[in-house]
Amino acid sequence: MDFYSSQILNLVEQLSHLPGIGNKSAQRLAFHILNMPQEQVKGLADAMTNAKKNVKYCKECCTYTDDELCPICANPKRNHKQIMVVENTRDLAAYEKTGKYEGVYHVLHGAISPMAGIGPQDIRLSELMVRLQKDVDEVIVATNKTLEGDTTATYISKLIKPLGVKVSRIASGVPIGGDLEYIDEITLYRALEGRTDM
């Protein structure tokens, strides 16, 4: 791409390191940025550096936040005795959008994966155990329904049960709007196992 001058090449290169952005999207983004008003480019660049500089982990649930506590942990209206364990902040966001969950969260920032060399000490599990020393009614394990997520769920369950705290796992089944014909066998089997009375 020697037909681009060095600063454009550098911008394209930096953008193409972002996830889901290939070389072509990076070029499109780069030229869009060159066409943006100077102020807006500065706003975007500053948002990145400031967020990176100032955002830290919530000292309760370990999600990303700028304050000591995230907005959810700081909210006295939430049920602090019910903790939903998720793999990352995006999963927390997904459950928040349902508007149906009133407890708090614990963000692991990963899942146990022996294949990738990620063990229990590499995710925010010890922080969860510290929280359980306070009065907690239930831990809902909402890690992904993947090999790693299930491994993590089993590990957490074995760790917590001896403490006498209730541990539950979110249900597996056919997604709403899902057409049975296109659902994999394991999901169908789990949906059958998890059937409820009508």
Residues from 159 through 178 that contact a copy of itself (CB under 8 A):
none
Q: Which of 10, 22, 186, 192 binds a copy of itself (CB under 8 A)?
A: 10
Q: Which of 84, 92, 111, 136 binds a copy of itself (CB under 8 A)?
A: 92
For 50, phi then psi, to 5°, come to: -65, -45
Query: Which among 172, 170, 168, 169 has a CA at the least distance from the CA of 188?
Result: 172
Which one, 144 or 154, has the nearer CB to a copy of itself?
Answer: 144
Among 22, 48, 137, 158, binds a copy of itself (CB under 8 A): 48
Of 62-70, 133-141, 145-153, 154-162, which segment contacts a copy of itself by CB under 8 A? 62-70
Residues engaged in binding a copy of itself (CB under 8 A): 1-8, 10-11, 13-15, 17-20, 25, 27-34, 36, 38, 40-55, 64-67, 70-72, 88-90, 92-93, 96
